[in-house]
Structure 1
Amino acid sequence: MSNIDKRNRLDEEVFTYRVTKDNKVFISYMGRQVTSLVGKEADKFLTRISGQDFKAVQLVMAKVTGNFKRGNEKDSKRE
């Protein structure tokens, strides 16, 4: 996994998820919701993360969210 996460961003908890009663999954990046999964996609995601360690779960969430960043996001730490 070191080849995938060269900047060690997945060691931090940058992605989080929450599951609702009706099995919808909401994935957030740095506290902001970036995607939601329903139905078969949500079931597939929950199956993929079950039994995984923290960093592997972070990687799955990174792959599921896809290319949502375009480089024009403001980093509140830099301001």
Structure 2
Amino acid sequence: MSELPPGLAEDPFDYQVTRSGQVRVSRGGREVVVVGGRDAERLAARLASADPDQVQHLLARATGNYRRGNERRPHR
């Protein structure tokens, strides 16, 4: 994958897979989202085989905090 955006490189996501299979995603010490069910199973499997940059992209997508490239910047 590509290099991490500056904001993601400076303040990366953390995650924890619980015994119940949930994936808890946090950033800056605060829990952002808890992924459960089949989505958590798929995410945990992808995270296990991903390199650090891919992990950050996967976690960003899981939280919805991911720029898709089609957003426009507000005019000022």
- Give the distance between the partners of 1:12 and 1:40, measured in 2 at CA: 30
**Where does the alignment leave 5 or more consecutive residues of structure 2 unmatched?**
66-76
Following superposition, the deviation at residue 47 of structure 1 comes to 1.6
Following superposition, the deviation at residue 11 of structure 1 comes to 3.2
**Percent of residue pairs identical:** 33
* Alpha-carbon RMSD: 2.0
CA contact (8 A) 1:13 1:58 kept: no
Pairing partner for 2:9 from 8, 11, 17: 11
Q: Give the equivalent residue in structure 1 for 2:20.
A: 22
**Higher normalized helix content (fraction of residues):** 2
Instruction: Say whether 1:34 aligns with 2:60.
Output: no
- Give the distance between the partners of 2:12 and 2:6, measured in 1 at CA: 11
TM-score by length of 1: 0.69
- Give the distance between the partners of 2:41 and 2:52, measured in 1 at CA: 19
Provide the secondary structure at the position in 1 that maps to 2:21: coil
Equivalenced residues, count: 65
CA contact (8 A) 2:24 2:34 kept: yes
- Give the distance between the partners of 1:33 and 1:62, measured in 2 at CA: 13
Q: Give the equivalent residue in structure 2 for 1:48.
A: 46
**Where does the alignment leave 5 or more consecutive residues of structure 1 unmatched?**
68-79
Following superposition, the deviation at residue 14 of structure 1 comes to 1.6
TM-score by length of 2: 0.72
Q: Give the equivalent residue in structure 1 for 2:73.
A: none
